[in-house]
Amino acid sequence: MNVNINTVTGPIAPDELGITLMHEHILYGYPGWEGDQTIAPFDREAIVNTGVELLEQLKSLGVKTYVDATALDGARNPEIYREISEKTGVHIICSTGYYYEGEGSPTYFKFRSSLGDVSDEIYELFMKEITEGVRDTGIKPGVIKVGSSKGVITDYEKMMFQAAARVQKDTGVPIITHTQEGTMGPEQAELLISEGVDPARIQIGHMSDNLDMEYQLSTFKQGVYVSWDRMGLQGLVGCPMDEQRYPVIIDLIKKGYADKLMLSHDYIGYWLGRPLNIPEEALPLIANWHPTHLFKNIIPALKQGGVTDEQIKTIVEDNPRRLFAGE
């Protein structure tokens, strides 16, 4: 099994990962943004400058690796990631895979699957990206991203999970997921494990969106990594407040789950298309939605709740390494 990790500038050893943000985005565009380019053209230079500034800031806080969780239907752009990584020296790991049905671009494979089984086509695509690179860039994704809908894993999504599972088993590359509005975390873990994926190679995402202890434990108990990766994102897309999240996360750490927990923000550095019209009253809710939040606010809050430096290191550095290394 290959224990080298694919970054956008080439393979690295697990020990080189350092402090890792496991679920962020350099840029993002919902499918359909392309159609609005007459009004809001693609500005490569602005994206690169924004990304460089962001990663320089994170580098000064000790971040060594930034995992970009953008699936290939979210305007993923490996060449831009490579340029930003080269300019800053921060490792960037990009994703292969497709987003959940509701907000991805399912039409292409759904149409193809109306004519016959396309499981092998999806498998072939993810495999080729990981082993040879995206298009002709030579840039190989280091994670497989899949997602499910609110309260259901649809047939389309199941097809993606199954292809992801096959590719995971053949390459060793870990799977990271999107859960919608705090649902289907335990079911995603179950599905992937039933397809033969080692739980130590699975990270269930957006688990910070559901604070029910039973929901948390039924995911953790399956041995997967559980990612609290929407920190700072409050009151939107079904997210609770950080003040409500802290006691739950501290409780989970006290229950002994520090070695399965990850922290990130699902931050989007640059939105493709027109600027977002975020309502005035929502702005204070997302004032801390930025990857520096971990260092400025989250770690201090956890420490105040009795979490040790060693446990924090486990969460921000050791767990990402173990997920990628399959330790």
Residue with tokens 């920190």: 231
Task: Give the span between the Cα atoms of 151 and 154, in whole angstroms.
Answer: 9
69 to 98: interface string for Zn ion, x by CB under 5 A: x-----------------------------
- Per CB under 5 A, does 266 bind Zn ion? yes
Tokens of 41: 């053209």
Task: Give the span between the Cα atoms of 226 and 222, in whole angstroms.
Answer: 10
213 beta partners: none
Please identify, among the stretches 152-160, 188-196, 260-268, 304-312, the one whose residues bind Zn ion according to the rule CB under 5 A: 260-268
Q: Which is nearer to Zn ion, 118 or 233 (CB)?
A: 233
- Please identify the residue of the shown chain whose CB is closest to the bound Zn ion: 266
Tell me how many residues contact Zn ion (CB under 5 A).
2
Enclosing H/E stretch for 20:
strand 19-24
Please identify, among the stretches 44-52, 242-250, 265-273, 315-323, the one whose residues bind Zn ion according to the rule CB under 5 A: 265-273
Cβ of residue 27: shortest distance to Zn ion, in angstroms?
12
Task: Give the span between the Cα atoms of 289 and 25, in whole angstroms.
Answer: 12
Answer yes or no: are the C-beta atoms of 268 and 71 closer than 8 Å: no
Please identify, among the stretches 4-12, 61-69, 72-80, 208-216, the one whose residues bind Zn ion according to the rule CB under 5 A: 61-69
Cβ of residue 266: shortest distance to Zn ion, in angstroms?
4
Please identify, among the stretches 154-162, 184-192, 234-242, 261-269, the one whose residues bind Zn ion according to the rule CB under 5 A: 261-269
Cβ of residue 325: shortest distance to Zn ion, in angstroms?
23
Answer yes or no: are the C-beta atoms of 180 and 148 closer than 8 Å: yes
Cα first-last separation, the chain: 12
